């Protein structure tokens, strides 16, 4: 198997793990900077917040981690 095929073999699992690691880093950054983990009001604020970035990364990790099946 060529090195390109080997690299692309599990790209979804690697991308999912990378998104989860980035989400964890965003969560740690939120705790360090704001001294709390989540504020529900930050989800509805118009700007980009740590909470929105965290949610986007977790959703990306879940979607990439799903194994799509066709025909059963």
Mean pLDDT of the chain: 84
**Residue 53: domain span:** 3-65
Residue at 71 is within a domain: no
Secondary structure E strands in the chain? none
How many domains does the chain fold into?
Answer: 1
Q: Provide the sign of the torsion angle of the four alpha carbons 54, 51, 39, 27, taken in this order.
A: positive
Residue at 72 is within a domain: no
Residue at 13 is within a domain: yes
Above 70 in pLDDT, residue 15? yes
pLDDT at 71: 47
């Amino acid at each position: 198997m060529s090195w390109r095929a080997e690299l692309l073999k599990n790209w979804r699992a690697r991308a999912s793990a990378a998104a989860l690691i980035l989400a964890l880093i965003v969560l740690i950054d939120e705790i360090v900077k704001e001294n709390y983990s989540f504020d529900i009001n930050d989800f509805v604020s118009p700007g980009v917040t740590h909470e929105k970035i965290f949610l986007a990364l977790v959703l990306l990790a879940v979607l990439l981690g799903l194994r799509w099946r066709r025909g059963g």
